[in-house]
Amino acid sequence: MKGRRVVITACSAITPIGHTRAEIVDSLRRGVSGVKTLREDHLLSKFIHSQVFGTVDYPIAFDFRRTFRKTMGPVAYYACQVAKEVLDQAGLPPEFVTSGRLGVAFGSTHGSPTVQREIYKTFFGASQSEFRAIGAVDYLKSMVHTTAVNITKMFGITGRVISSSTACTTSSQSIGFGYEAVKYGMQDAMLCGGADEYDTTTVAVFDNLMACSTAFNDRPRCTPRPFDRQRDGLVVGEGAGAVLLEEYEQARKRGAVILGEVVGFACNNNGGDLILPNRAGISETLRLGLDDAALATDEVDFVSAHATGTKMGDVIEAQAIHAVYGGGPFVTGLKGYMGHTMGSCGAIETILTLYMMQDGFIAPTLNLEEPDERCAMIRHTMRLREQPIRVASIQNFAFGGVNTNLLIKRFV
Amino acid sequence: MTREQITAEILNIFSREFEIEQPGLDKDLRETYEFDSVDAIELLLGIERFLKSELTHEEKKMAMGIRTINQIIDYVEGLVRVRGRETHA
């Protein structure tokens, strides 16, 4: 079904390797890691084997009025900050922002775990008379769609709200579903993305599944190691990313700076096991994305792999990439720089890809020194390449068997 | 409890919980200070803590039409009177 063209006219990310575009590009070019020692949380951190975390440890000058702050947990601070930066950058007319023609697609893995912990403390540690102190505000701060609706409130956005919460595909779905909403005319623009705050619960879950990296606790920047022989698991991280998607003709008429074009999206499910990666399911979502974009495999010259650095996941993904693309496109696992930023990873990896696309370089997979022979059949980016990207595929896969594939084209 | 004491505590709640300093006592809270439904719920919790007494559903419903600080003070005065009567009964 042919629809309208959808372009990206603004983007912003808070990542373990920087906040501004210049900081992030510099980290990618210089191979700077944002993985640090896991912070103490006075609850779980001392029981977790994996003592590394993709950390946002620089100050962010949040400047939100009380009327907005009161319903925001840490995850909403991240979300609203990148949303604010995107809207500032885009320069949309104020009357358009509140017109109902702009919507929001934004999510997180599970709302605000920090606020949820406070609620649990009251449940398990307080007297019954204090139970009533768990009120509407706690819910608004902690709920799964807290990021999306705090954004709508802050900017008076009245269009549709989509709040995906599918773990690692949360924000790639946000962009994909936002793309479809604009493409098929339900909205003229969508503010899309995802965020996740510092949280050790997620680390503990992956740690218990023995999926987390533990061998580099004394050298955090050396892990995760996507596709590398020495990889020993993923590293959980925090961050946020937002992009503004606009219908092309509108963007052109208002003279917007166009950063790239979303030309395709696919999302499917493995239809079975909720944890194990599935080659058939992943391969299918890669093909479906290409079909949606009406692109041949040889037109894609860069793949941003999900590549979390787990033993099996990376092998299955490499097999799927090879099955669909052969050894054609350069493949980079951007999580080597910052770990797995969970609900925000799809948006962050899209934004990093846009930066590389604009600046004409491809960052290598950080910590990939010697590819695992089972992953070696694809074209790994082993060193910084000064090379243009015309079409990029951003792949993400989540617990629950959810797979996504976004196709982004350089705008010329 | 005097009206002055109630006023002082309500202003204290507004400063502490809502960052609203020295509000006009007859100003429309929504229009002037962006006081909204979430704030109203928090205010009722603050009043319960102040009175050390749970509000009934009927009492909470009575608060729905409140628009100004003076109306809040009137409301709390009423609650104090009812609780005084109950104590003496």
At A136, the pLDDT band (50, 70, 90 cuts) reads confident
Tens-place pLDDT, residues A249-258: 999 999 999 9
In this structure, the number of other CB atoms found within 10 A of the CB of residue B31 comes to: 9
Span B3-82: which CATH code?
Answer: 1.10.1200.10
Q: pLDDT, tens digit, for every residue of B71-88?
A: 999 999 999 999 887 766
Return the closest-CA partner of residue A180 out of A1, A28, A34, A325: A1
**pLDDT over threshold 70, residue A29:** yes
C-alpha–C-alpha distance, residues B31 and A16, integer Å: 41
CA distance to partner chain B, nearest, from residue A139 (Å): 11
**Nearest CB neighbour to B38, from listed A65, A70, A133:** A70
Alpha carbon B52 to chain centroid, angstroms: 13
Using DSSP's 3-state secondary structure scheme, residue A103 falls into strand
Check CB contact of A39 with chain B, cutoff 8 Å: no
Task: Provide the pLDDT for residue A412.
Answer: 85
pLDDT for A120: 86
Question: Which pLDDT score, from 0 to 100, does residue A129 have?
Answer: 61
The Cα–Cα gap between B82 and B72 comes to: 15
Identify all chain A residues contacting B19, using CB atoms and an 8 Å cutoff: 66
**Dist. CA A299–CA A187, nearest whole Å:** 29
Distance from CA of B67 to the nearest CA of A (A): 17
Our CA-based measurement puts residue A140 at a distance from the nearest CA of chain B, in whole angstroms, of 9
Tell me the percentage of chain B whose pLDDT exceeds 90: 84
Chain A residues in contact with B54 by the CB 8 A cut-off are: 132
Q: What is the spatial distance between Cα A350 and Cα A347, in angstroms, rounded to a whole number? A: 5
Q: Which residue has the tokens 């008429």?
A: A253
The residue of chain A nearest to residue B37, with distances taken between CA atoms, is: A136
Q: Predicted ipTM?
A: 0.82
Predicted confidence (pLDDT) at residue A49 exceeds the cutoff of 70: yes
Contact B18 A66 (CB under 8 A): yes
Which of B19, B38, B45 is nearest residue A71 as measured by Cβ atoms?
Answer: B38
Identify the structural domains of chain A with CATH numbers, from first to last.
Answer: 6-409 (3.40.47.10)
Residues of B in contact with A67 (CB under 8 A): 34, 36
Q: Which of B19, B38, B48 sits opposite A137 (nearest CB)?
A: B38
Task: Write out pLDDT tens, residues A265-320.
Answer: 999 999 999 999 999 999 999 999 999 999 999 999 999 999 999 999 999 999 99
In tens, the pLDDT along A59-82 reads 999 999 999 999 999 999 999 999
Q: Is the pLDDT of residue A44 over 80?
A: yes
Decide if A346 contacts A289 (C-beta within 8 A). Answer: no
A-B contacts (CB, under 8 Å)? 22
Q: Do A137 and B41 touch (CB under 8 A)?
A: yes
Q: pLDDT tens digits, residue range A178-204?
A: 999 999 999 999 999 999 999 999 999
B18: chain A residues, CB-CB within 8 Å: 66
**Dist. CA A221–CA A344, nearest whole Å:** 20
Interface of A with B in 298-317 (CB under 8 A): none
Domains of chain B, by residue range, sit at 3-82
Task: Kindly give, in sequence order, each residue whose CB lies less than 8 Å from that of residue A194, ignoring residues fewer than 6 positions away.
Answer: A79, A106, A107, A108, A147, A164, A170, A171, A174, A240, A241, A343, A344, A345, A346, A347
Scanning every residue of chain B, which has its alpha carbon at the shortest distance from the alpha carbon of A132?
Answer: B45
* Residue A131 to residue A278: CA distance in whole angstroms: 44
CB contact under 8 A, B38 and A136: yes
Confidence (pTM) = 0.94
Q: Decide if B36 touches A, using CB distance below 8 A.
A: yes
- CA distance, residue B63 to nearest chain A CA (Å): 17
Distance (Å) from the alpha carbon of A136 to chain B's nearest alpha carbon: 7
Question: B3-18 vs B37-51: helix axis angle to the nearest 10?
Answer: 130
Q: Which two tokens stand for residue B44?
A: 């009722």
Q: Are strands A52-54 and A35-37 parallel, antiparallel or unpaired?
A: antiparallel
Contacts of A70 in chain B (CB under 8 A): 38-39, 42
Chain B nearest-CA distance from A64, in A, is 13
Task: Report whether pLDDT(A135) > 80.
Answer: no
Q: Cβ of A66: how many Cβ atoms within 10 Å?
A: 13
Cα R_g (chain A), whole angstroms: 20
Asked whether the beta carbons of residue B38 and residue A133 sit closer than 8 angstroms, the reply is: no
* A110 Cβ contact list (under 8 Å, min separation 6): A116, A144, A165
A327 Cβ contact partners less than 8 Å away, ≥ 6 residues apart: A377, A378, A379
Instruction: Determine whether the interchain pair A135/B42 forms a contact, defined as Cβ–Cβ distance below 8 Å.
Output: yes
Stated as kind and residue range, the H or E segment containing A194 is strand A189-196
Residue B7 pLDDT: 97
**Sign for the pseudo-dihedral over CA of A394, A395, A399, A402:** positive
Contact criterion met (CB < 8 Å) for A70 and B39: yes
Q: By CB neighbour count within 10 A (0-12 exposed, 13-18 middle, 19+ buried), where does A359 fall?
A: middle
Cα dihedral A50/A54/A55/A61 (nearest 10): -150
Residue A30 structure tokens: 């210089």
